[in-house]
Structure 1
Amino acid sequence: MTPNPGKRSRRPNLNGWLRPSNQGPVLPPDGGKIAWLQVLAMALVNFNNFGLVNSFGVFQAYYETTLLRTSSPSSIAIVGTLQGALLLIVGVVSGPLFDKGYFKPALVVASLGLVFALMMLSLSTQYYQVFLSQGLLLGICSGLLYIPSIALIPVYFKRRRGLALGLATGGGSIGGVIYPIIFRRLVVEVGFGWAVRVLGFIALVTLGTAVGLSKPIGVRIQRKLLEPSAFRDKAYVMFLFSAFFLLAAMFVPFFLATAYSIQHLHANAGLSFYLISIMNAAQFFGRLLPAWLADHRHRILGPETFQFAGEVFMGILGFAWVGVGSFGDFIPWVIFYGFFSGMTVTLPAVVLPHICPNLAVYGTRVGMLYACAGVGLLISTPVASALNASSGGFLGAQLWTGACCLVASLLFVVTGLEIRERRLRYEMGKRGKRGPRGREMDMNFFHWDMVFRIKEKL
């Protein structure tokens, strides 16, 4: 039977799916059903990648007392920091993949790899097995998911970019609330293997839904893994150093809070395991509220102000951790630290467009930024644990957290001042009050306003 040339085949075209998207460049739709579905999809992605990283504290406590009790705490911490570091460092690869239009293939492959890593972890009984499955494979797959998940949102949003990014990344905090509770309950009732398998099945369903909902738009420019011109931008370079020190401290309490509560405060183990969920619940609001406020373009309270304030308060809380002497005191400390950590881990994606020449290189620059931060995360808890061993107790981790966060805030001052200058200059230009470099800003910072055109159909 001769096929009808007027009819399009309904069979899936695998070759077409594997090729990068070749749509025309678009102006951010800035809302609408499809745009908000992308927020939901990316929230489900972050539910699994950052959600699992934020949950490592319960794994750390379980490994120390049960599965890997012959291994040192610093050795166990390397698993979690490697997982978190690769989540960020692999962005050097996944960012350019997003720029080149390979978002969908990377999402599918990384999702399947993440589920496979959890299934392999459920079979692990030795340290090297946990290291390979949870630290290495899970970290690589999380990294392939993370940077594209936050790079997609600015393509769809402009005015509400902060709110959209807050909601999308907030999925990581929700995952950090749910996963520790499920793991803690099931590991007691059905054992470690089936507890982790259930996490794998949850990841399969949520990531499968994200794949079905996601719809990348826009033509992508062929980019290298690194953008050398970025290193000539003083504000961006200082942002890199600030991110390194910030992430060298941020996750230390997430990894050690449960162990600190049990070993130092002598609190009930069952209650201590819920500290990670409490911290992540507070982090959700820290991700959402400042990002939403940043959308209102206040002259003073811009995203750079919230970023700087969050880093300062985290440093203060790090030193205040030394004075925590009871479980009752520790709970409010955990809530405040979770809130400000959510602020500082989300806002870089909101801040970065202000020092990015155009959105065509946004994915690459985000990847470079988070790769630098990932190196800091890699050394964070192992260094803090080593300092604990030399100082006794948890004093080393407490001082390390406070010092690194304050150094990060000082480095960010240079970036923050430059961002504010560019942001205000652009906003003055939009109102017709252009400064001496207003025209340059229109052609630079928001160059994509003129480059990206509205699609006829989404």
Structure 2
Amino acid sequence: MTEAAPDAVETFARETKEELSLPPEGGTKGWLCVSGAFLAIFCTFGFLNAIGVFQTTYEETILHSYTPSEISWIFATQLALMWAPGPIFGRLVDTYGAAPVLYPCSFLCVFSLCMTSLADEYYQIFLAQGLGFGIGAGGVFTTAVVCIGQWHVRRRALATGIATAGSSLGGVIFPIFFHRVMERVGFYGAIRYTALMIGILMAVSCFLITARLPRKKWDWQAKWFDVTLFKQKQFGLFTIGSFLTMWAIFAPLNFLPSMAQQNGFSPSLALYLISIVNASSTFGRTIPPYLADHIGSFNVITSSAALSGIAMLALWLPFNYHSSHTGLIFFALAYGFFSGAFVSLLMPCVAKAGSIETLGRRFGTFQIIMSISNLTGLPIMGAILVRQGGVDFSGLQIFAGVNCILGSVLLLVATYSFGKTQGTWKV
């Protein structure tokens, strides 16, 4: 009896430790964190989903002397900074908790928009809206995603999908809100009201988002970027496929309003196309992730990348030659659903693309690669548009559609390889 007692105590301690190491799936704090992440992503990624409104407005007013490609560098920088600082922000959250990243980055987002409302030169807008808001949004977005991952494992795809649906809702509300307010108080006044709304919502999110894991010491030996990860065939194929798809995924959000206006849309209806894309994307960021928890995230993300490319080539490209209000609205609905699924499942797939020992390095490496994709995609397509006189969108449409198709092929090969390795098609 005396010898068995220590064994029983050790067994109990081990089981207790294992239980504590697992997130309380569905717990109150876990779902409050998802709610806070929803608001945070609404204010950051959701605001960035309205880049088409700013692209069109800048082309027609403040920055009319600059080419579409030059203007798109502002938004490409924003999108790239959503990913590039991810490794350092993620490690800060893992080490010190959410507050040291979430609070200052939330303030930076609001401050940057206030500075944008005072800017009237290209470099000023680039520094405030491009760099300032981009860095702040990247910190808020990374904190939200990391904290969700700490609270949810089995339902990670669903929890992440619900949170990232905030970006779609933001993409619906911000274009309408900004356009209506701009009609009453002007462009700069609309930016200030937008900053006020974002500031209030981010303050609420700061109370709701919490890290589950305790603080720990900074690991100076941890790698930020690890090229040896690409020796793992599946991860390498998945990353390259995601790069090609991400290269093109924001093309409609940026250039669709300009194209619509040139095809006879009223300025308000052209801008509302962004809201239509994002309204449909709300369902794309929730329904497919729910299915992904049952049939596999890699299967769903591969399908969404392929269908996004097909939508651009079959439903968007033809209307460059034959204008149709109904056709462009139908494309916005279809594309929003397919592309929304792709964006929401990226990080859950990265989490499954290797062992737990390489999770941090894998996230960091993947995010840096995605930042390069986001930084270069829009300017390349803007340059193609300039080469075609600024009125023919076929070149950038073909570029975007073909890259999505090529990306889906590589994702399919990666998915097949994962399935063969794991002995199941549900990957």
TM-score, normalised via structure 2 length = 0.89
Contact 1:245 1:373 in 2 (8 A): no
Whether the 8 Å CA contact 2:93–2:100 is kept in 1: the answer is no
CA distance in 2: counterparts of 1:391 and 1:270, whole angstroms: 26
Tell me the CA shift for residue 424 of structure 1: 5.1
The question of 1:73 aligning with 2:68 is answered yes
After superposition, where does 1:336-375 map in structure 2 within 5 Å?
A: 336-358=334-356, 361-375=358-372
- Counterpart in 2 of 1:302? 296
Q: 1:99, CA displacement in angstroms?
A: 2.9
Contact in 2 for aligned 1:242/1:408 (Cα 8 Å): yes
Bigger CA drift: 348-357 or 239-248? 348-357
**Structure 1 residue 426, shift from structure 2 partner:** 11
Query: Judging changes above 3 Å, is the alpha-carbon distance between structure 1 residues 230 and 97 closer, same or farther for their aligned structure 2 residues?
Result: farther
Determine what percentage of the aligned residue pairs are the same residue: 33
Distance change (3 Å), C-alpha of 1:422 and 1:212: farther
Alignment of 1:28-47 (within 5 A): 28-47=23-42
Aligned length: 399
Q: CA deviation at 1:254?
A: 0.3
1:250 aligns with 2:245: no
Q: 2:117 aligns with which of 114, 122, 140?
A: 122
* Structure 2: distance between partners of 1:271 and 1:129: 29
Aligned position for 1:95: 90
CA distance in 2 between partners of 1:93 and 1:407 (Å): 31
Q: Deviations over 1:158-213 (max 9, x none)?
A: 22222111111111111111111111111111011111011111111111111111
What letter matches 1:316 in structure 2?
I
* Alpha-carbon spacing, 1:368–1:25, altered in 2? closer, same or farther (3 Å): farther
Alignment of 1:360-439 (within 5 A): 361-392=358-389, 393-421=392-420
| Structure 1, unaligned runs of 5 or more | 1-23, 428-444, 446-458
When structure 1 is superposed on structure 2, of 121-130 and 153-162 the one drifting more is 153-162
Letter in 1 for 2:35: L
| Cα distance in structure 2, aligned partners of 1:207 and 1:111 | 6
* C-alpha separation in 1, matches of 2:32 and 2:286: 17
Match 1:105 to one of 92, 95, 100: 100
Residues 396 and 425 of structure 1: is their aligned pair in 2 closer, same or farther, counting only changes over 3 Å? closer
Q: What residue in structure 2 maps to residue 86 of structure 1?
A: 81
Letter in 2 for 1:307: I
Q: Quick check: 1:96–1:225 contact (8 Å CA) kept in 2?
A: no
Deviations 1:93-134 (A, max 9, x none): 222223323432101111011111010011111111111111
1:124-143 correspondence runs (5 A)? 124-143=119-138
Q: CA RMSD in A?
A: 2.0
1:441 alignment partner in structure 2: none
Rounded Cα–Cα distance in structure 1 between residues aligned with 2:252 and 2:340: 13
Q: CA offsets per residue over residues 292-331 of structure 1, 9 Å max, x none?
A: 11122xxxx3211111111111111121221122111100
* Distance across 2 between alignment mates of 1:423 and 1:78: 42
Structure 2 residue aligned with 1:204: 199
Distance apart, 1:25 and its partner CA = 6.5
Structure 2 gap ranges (5+): 1-18
Match of 1:194 among 178, 189, 203: 189
Preserved contact between residue 243 and residue 369 of structure 1 (Cα < 8 Å) = no
Q: Which moves more between the two structures, 222-231 or 117-126?
A: 222-231
Counterparts of 1:423 and 1:149, CA distance in 2? 30
Q: 2-side partners of 1:256 and 1:142: how far apart?
A: 22
2:64 is paired with a residue whose SS is coil
The residue type equivalent to 2:33 in the other structure is Q
Contact 1:108/1:211, CA 8 A, preserved across alignment: yes
Q: Deviations over 1:38-58 (max 9, x none)?
A: 000111110111112101100
Structure 1 residues 409 and 385, CA, compared in 2 at 3 Å: closer, same or farther? same
Tell me the distance in 1 between the aligned counterparts of 2:290 and 2:45.
20
Letter aligned with residue 337 of structure 2: F
The verdict on how the C-alpha distance between 1:75 and 1:372 changes in structure 2, with shifts beyond 3 A counting, is same
Partner Cα separation in structure 2 for residue 110 and residue 364 of structure 1: 23
Q: Which amino acid aligns with 2:287?
A: L
In 1, Cα distance between the equivalents of 2:285 and 2:364? 20
- From 312, 318, 324, give the equivalent of 2:312: 318
TM-score computed with the length of structure 1 as normaliser: 0.83
Structure 1 pair 363–207 and aligned structure 2 pair: CA distance change class (3 A): farther
Structure-2 change in CA distance of 1:234 and 1:97 (3 Å): farther
Aligned to 1:280: 278
1:234 pairs with 2:228: no
Distance 1:335 1:89 in 2: 30
Counterpart of 1:290 in 2: which secondary structure? helix
Q: Which moved more, 1:137-146 or 1:95-104?
A: 95-104
Indicate conservation of the 8 Å contact 1:117/1:133, yes or no.
yes
Aligned pair in 2 of structure 1 residues 400, 210: CA closer, same or farther (>3 Å)? same
Q: 1:394 to 1:422 in 2, by over 3 A?
A: same
